Amino acid sequence: MFATPASLSRNVLGAFGTVVFAGICLMGATAPAQASETVRSAVVRTADLNLTTDAGRSTFENRVRYAARSVCTGAADDLRGKQQTAACVKSAVASAQPARMASID
């Protein structure tokens, strides 16, 4: 019922990581975007994860990749569109790296 210092710290870092990742994902996902495109972002929740464990970090990484794919959809279904989507996902995941590291530390 009571929060321990470790769980409180994990929850605070999780909330911070969620907010920071949303902003970074927004920047990464829209870097190649044209001015007329809609800006997209995703929130990655981390408060329920124990980021000090391998399982928690793995789940977090999966959520980051899923969020990147979800904000990078909408390109044409041809080869060029698939390449644009892949580049967007790669950029969004890479730009989220500082937030992921801050959440894990």
Q: Predicted confidence band at 12 (pLDDT cuts at 50, 70, 90)?
A: low
CB-based contact 49:100 (threshold 8 Å): no
CB-based contact 14:103 (threshold 8 Å): yes
pLDDT digits (tens, 9 = 90+) for 41-59: 888 888 999 988 999 989 9
Please give the average per-residue pLDDT across 64-88, as a whole number.
88
pLDDT surpasses 50 at 32: yes
This prediction's pTM: 0.59
Question: Domain spans of the chain?
Answer: 5-104
Q: Predicted confidence band at 5 (pLDDT cuts at 50, 70, 90)?
A: low
- Please name the amino acid found at residue 95: S
Place of tokens 């894990």: 104
> Considering the chain, what is the average pLDDT of its residues?
75
